[in-house]
Structure 1
Amino acid sequence: MYNNNNFYKKNFIFKIIQNDLKNKKYNFICTRFPPEPNGYLHIGHIKSICLNFFIAKFYKGNFFLRIDDTNPTTENIKYINSIKKDLIWLGFQWDEKVKYSSNYFDIIYEYAIELINKNLAYVDELNTQEIKSYRGTLLLPGKNSPYRDRSIKENLKLFHNMRLGKFPEGSMSLRAKIDMKSKIIIMRDPVLYRIKFQKHHQTGGKWCIYPTYDFCHCISDAIEGITHSLCTLEFQDNKILYNWILNNISIKNHPKQYEFSKLQIEYGITSKRIIRLLIKKKIVKGWDDPRLLTISGLRRKGYTASSLRNFCYHIGVTKQNNIIQLSYLESFIKKELNKIAPRTMAILRPLKIIIDNFPITKKIKLKIPNHPSNKNMGYKIIYFTKEIYIDVLDFSEKEKKNYTRLILGKKIKLRYSFVIKANKVIKDNNGNIICIHCIYYQKTLGLKINKKDPKIKGIIHWISCSSTQPVLFYLYNNLFRKKKINNINNILSYVNKKSLLIYNGFIEKKLLQDQKQQHFQFEREGYFYFDKKNSNKKKIIFNQILSMR
């Protein structure tokens, strides 16, 4: 698991670390994965976890899981639990105990006071909207706050009273005193602390002021002895602030930040804000909806941890932004399931077939392989009976061009079984087909079909009515209609209304006897996953991982 040579050799960050070690800049490597507990992890996080984890293990260093919990307004203990669960499921174990940025709040507060004493931070009374308007734009410089030139003594007193809860929420903030005319907007006196009368999941009611992510993140890295702080390219400008903070406080360690391109997959969204919106609008059913690219959503859909890790190894780590084809992600789970998933037949859209010339009390035992190329997976027994189900898409009353399924008056081969011929269609008063009357040809068991034979149109799958288990099949399509969505403000207009299709169908009654087996290939339909977590005795759910149609 730790020895993917291509992952190391092609990775520019590994080359940086190799050079640092060669020059004896470090003698011990320490990395971390620092998620904010304000949502579930997604596939982009897997890339970051893989990178940080394997760097640490390759160089026999430490890999920490740190929860960057600086905003109790949006954070929840359930997200922390889901983060830990996802890492363990993926196969990554962090060193030492889980770390929290909130563990360092006392130290970070003292560093804020140090900046005030150095006249590098001040208490501002501008509200959030006013701070934004004073900040300027990419084309226009910002302007100084009228509170920027307060004395050090006054700032210390105000900041102390902020901590004591003497001011209303949003009325004051602590800002760094840098340069309101900087070309880098983040350097225009960024906020370091804000007032939030919110109980924290780790510190309780101890604090009513909380450090911002940017102020807390770099100090947490330094306290933990992180050597290489790895993040995605959107934090490139933040690096300047990261270094400014560490250079202006009396902290020993100075980690170096390096950026790599974030993982983007066509038709997919990983923004937590957008996912919350989709959940609120009931477009998806939660963070673990299989249409999402969250780790829990991919897991529930049927992706394996190894397939996701292998995907991240192969896409590599670069500074070049690009969108990965969805089919490339799917190819990794397909390759894996092709080896491990037993084959069986299932009917998603049932249509009853009655074999007129087959006795009602008779059943013929058929021994079929669980996997066509892996004899070690053994065999199973199915039965051919008078009444069977086929898929409604596998029947047509009239001839169609290139249609190689059951047609009225024509012959078809049933998979692993006999040739049948459709003779009569029974319909209800509304013209809906109820069932098809057929005959079977007794001597055709085991007959190999010649594709050039015009008498037999093709081969279809089926299931005996006497040995069925009713289930729900959830078929997932792309959540969005566009490969890449540039205007996320209008994202709801791109939602695919047919992203989820649900069918009431059948599987073999004995299919779920093996409690450990959850992945199956339903012949001619695709790969499916038994959603054990969301199933019960009254409702059995199979999620489609990949289609074969």
Structure 2
Amino acid sequence: MSESKDFLRTIVEEDLRSGKYKEVITRFPPEPNGFPHIGHAKSIFINFGIARDYNGHCNLRMDDTNPTTEDTKYVEALKDAVQWLGFDWGDDVYFTSDYFPKIYDYAIELIKMGKAYVDSTNEEEMRQLRGTVTESGKRSKYADRSIEENLDLFERMKNGEFKDGEHVLRAKIDMSAANMKMRDPLLYRIRHSHHFRAGDKWSIYPMYDFAHCLSDYIEGVSHSICTLEFENNRDIYNWVLDTLGLELPRPYQHEFARLGINYTVMSKRKLLELVEGGQVNGWDDPRMPTIAGYRRRGYTPEAILNFCDQIGIAKANSMVDVAQLEFCIRDDLNTKVPRVMCVLDPLKVTIENYEGTEELEASYYPHDVPKEGSRKMPFSKEIYIERDDFKENPPKDYFRLTPEQPVRLKHGFIISCKEVVKDASGNIIEIKAEYYPESKSGSDSSGIDVKSAIHWVSASHAKTVEVRLYDRLFKDEAPEGVEDINPDSLQVIKNALIEPAVISQKPDERFQFERQGYFYADPIDYTDTTPVFNKIVGLKDSWTKKTKASESALKSASKPQAKKVQVDGEVVAMTEAEQTLFNKYTARSISIEIANTLARDEKLSHFYEEALVHFDNPATDSNKIYAPASLANIVANEIARELKEKQLDELKFTPRQVVELAKMVDGMIISNKIAKEVFEEMVKSGESPKKIVDTKGLMQISSIDKIQPIVDEIIAKNPDNVAKFKAGNTKLLGFFVGQVLKATGGKANPTVVNHLVAERLK
């Protein structure tokens, strides 16, 4: 865990200090309706991590209140994910279904208190009576039913005497509440479905908001930690517990920002569509953002936990670059795995002046990895190299084998090209070469100067393996679904050639294939007769063009004791001042990439430091606590572009204005996309972000209470498309989202709109 303390731990410590709770009890309460994904990993990390840090306990509880979507296989997947990440839930897994009798009794109490009633209004009328953001709702005529009638109807609902949707149980709260979720929310609905644990005992099932808080109370949970989309649900949570007069101590809900990653879909509904549609090979497909998928691809628990630690715990939603997750697995594997040689696209090389075979000593690890281990590499007259490692007509700065340029074989000899053999179509099928006996690695006395070393395998000794090259599943930075799938997300090479020690000696299950990337022996399909390797991640970020710091630089920079950074091919030492800044920034939960950029650029660090004065000043905004990482992202990207051709005193905007912009993004007043538009205007005019947003009317609408009525209206106006969607045409989700965005002039928060539309169309 990073040394900086997040706001949740601050709350926990204050609660312990004040005596509010004697023990910290958290819970991880997923619905078992899909495999857990990387967003669940963050929640697991937070809930189990906080319990561990304060000598408490975290309950693993299945929120199994919807029998139509849940399954035992999802329960097992959730248990497996928690265990694999290194956490322990104790002796028992909890299930909300275990509390069904007690939750039912609590519902009876509310009815007897006159605080709940059975409503027989149909869904459409109920929606109309709910009101809008600007208009109060109207209570159902059925709210006047007597307590006796409500008790009778509710029992008959439980006994299965009514059809699905014929009645619901609602809380009687306030139909004019500003928080529309408090307008007599549903507590129970009828579901004639077999429950995977309770069987057919129940015909009614509690709604999440009712079951959630009561389950927390029953289990003695102290801190009910959930993501921001449940912020408005907190009022229902508190109302239920307060109205029932449940004894202290009772749980309280605290929200944190959910994890969003670019090029990634996190919706379980959309992930299920991919699985059922055959676009991926199951929930554990290595391209899936599920924990099972990352595990099969070869990610380690340490890498995922380090990623969760790096991104920190914030109060405002933001988007994390998937490159940061990829960096974490590279950083973890760099010091762990052996380096071996595998040729993916073989080109035959015949060394005409060599006869026989010999074994070359080859270390598994480079000199900067503190591990020992080596193998014997067979060398012979015929070898295979990577096809891209030879060019007949090379471009400028090509340092591998050419007709005029020799190259070193890694751990072996220097060779030079003597003849290029082609087939009838002009394709190169073989290189005839010669080697220099005195050029052997470790004892080279040839005096021949070469600029690079390439990997290779002996033709007669190499083993044939299947290699699966996985790339990002989606090509779009903000994917919506199937239409954004990357067609090149999987390439299967059936006849790659690997050095024999990898198969015969099996020194590890994860490897770095020299100059190719990190690979993992597939835990399901790998056999001794048909070895299969999955590509975990490349050696560098092939999606992002980087002009300065490479990934190897960031690995060094991530460790306080390492003061070297790779810049344009040369190792440059960090100054003491740069290292101090770097350590300071990473301690603030700023990503390693951003921290490195800021620390090494004097103009950027000066601007950022001046901005921090305003960012950290309580007088600036005493009611909010913002994470400086958002400010750092703007400085390292937007400001950096401006300072490429300008000096600090030439900028029309001030650090204080950039702080204002960062806070507007954090507060979800504007989106990241709008922020870029605002920044462009700041560059031109020097106007404050607030004035630009007000003048142009750019303020984003993120309030669920404001967006929900618009969603309801759009859905109500398009019954035909609703029917088509529910019949299986899920692409119509985009239609509804687009209509809502159009109705709000593009100002509605797309993430909120997607969530609300998806929920309403269930």
Specify the alignment match of 2:353 in structure 1: 357
1:406 to 401, 408, 419: 401
Specify the alignment match of 2:649 in structure 1: none
Equivalent residue runs for 1:515-534 within 5 Å: 517-534=508-525
What displacement does 1:79 show? 0.5
What displacement does 1:514 show? 4.9
Specify the alignment match of 1:507 in structure 2: 498
Q: For the residues of structure 2 that align with 1:538 and 1:208, how far apart are their CA atoms?
A: 53
Q: For the residues of structure 2 that align with 1:129 and 1:470, how far apart are their CA atoms?
A: 63
* In the alignment, structure 1 residue 245 sits paired with structure 2 residue 240: yes
| CA pair 166-514 structure 1, distance change in 2 beyond 3 A | farther
What displacement does 1:235 show? 0.7
Q: For the residues of structure 2 that align with 1:136 and 1:302, how far apart are their CA atoms?
A: 51
Q: For the residues of structure 2 that align with 1:93 and 1:180, how far apart are their CA atoms?
A: 43
Specify the alignment match of 2:718 in structure 1: none
Specify the alignment match of 2:484 in structure 1: 494
| Superposed CA offset, 1:327-380 (max 9, x none) | 222222222211110011111111221222222xx1121001111124742210
Specify the alignment match of 2:363 in structure 1: 369
What displacement does 1:76 show? 0.5
What displacement does 1:447 show? 7.2
| CA pair 162-323 structure 1, distance change in 2 beyond 3 A | same
What displacement does 1:421 show? 2.0
Specify the alignment match of 1:158 in structure 2: 153
* In the alignment, structure 1 residue 542 sits paired with structure 2 residue 496: no
Runs of 5+ unmatched residues, structure 2: 541-762
Specify the alignment match of 1:44 in structure 2: 39
Q: For the residues of structure 1 that align with 2:366 and 2:514, how far apart are their CA atoms?
A: 11
| Superposed CA offset, 1:69-88 (max 9, x none) | 11111000001011111111
Is the contact between residue 463 and residue 503 of structure 2 (CA under 8 Å) also seen in structure 1?
Answer: no
Query: Percent identical across equivalent pairs?
Result: 44
Specify the alignment match of 2:475 in structure 1: 481
- SS of 1:66's equivalent in the other structure is strand
Q: For the residues of structure 2 that align with 1:156 and 1:228, how far apart are their CA atoms?
A: 33
Runs of 5+ unmatched residues, structure 1: none
Is the contact between residue 335 and residue 370 of structure 2 (CA under 8 Å) also seen in structure 1?
Answer: no
Letter in 1 for 2:100: F
* In the alignment, structure 1 residue 315 sits paired with structure 2 residue 306: no
What displacement does 1:130 show? 4.2
Hey, which of these two has a bigger chunk of strand by percent? 1
Specify the alignment match of 2:302 in structure 1: 306
What displacement does 1:510 show? 2.6
Hey, which of these two has a bigger chunk of helix by percent? 2
Specify the alignment match of 2:192 in structure 1: 197
* In the alignment, structure 1 residue 235 sits paired with structure 2 residue 230: yes
What displacement does 1:57 show? 2.3
Equivalent residue runs for 1:387-402 within 5 Å: 387-402=382-397
Equivalent residue runs for 1:210-359 within 5 Å: 210-253=205-248, 254-359=250-355
Q: For the residues of structure 2 that align with 1:529 and 1:499, how far apart are their CA atoms?
A: 17
- May I ask how many residue pairs the two structures share in their alignment? 536
- SS of 1:16's equivalent in the other structure is helix
Q: For the residues of structure 2 that align with 1:322 and 1:366, how far apart are their CA atoms?
A: 51
What displacement does 1:274 show? 1.3
Select between 69-78 and 413-422 the one with higher mean Cα deviation: 413-422
Letter in 1 for 2:331: K
TM-score by length of 1: 0.92
Aligned-CA RMSD value: 2.2
| CA pair 199-548 structure 1, distance change in 2 beyond 3 A | same
Select between 474-483 and 31-40 the one with higher mean Cα deviation: 474-483
- SS of 1:259's equivalent in the other structure is strand
Is the contact between residue 449 and residue 458 of structure 1 (CA under 8 Å) also seen in structure 2?
Answer: no
Letter in 1 for 2:344: L
Specify the alignment match of 2:583 in structure 1: none
Equivalent residue runs for 1:427-506 within 5 Å: 427-446=422-441, 456=450, 458-485=452-479, 488=480, 491-504=481-494, 505-506=496-497
Is the contact between residue 118 and residue 154 of structure 2 (CA under 8 Å) also seen in structure 1?
Answer: yes
| CA pair 458-96 structure 1, distance change in 2 beyond 3 A | closer
Specify the alignment match of 2:84 in structure 1: 89
Q: For the residues of structure 2 that align with 1:13 and 1:308, how far apart are their CA atoms?
A: 20
| Superposed CA offset, 1:399-425 (max 9, x none) | 212222222343222111112222333
- SS of 2:221's equivalent in the other structure is coil
* In the alignment, structure 1 residue 71 sits paired with structure 2 residue 66: yes
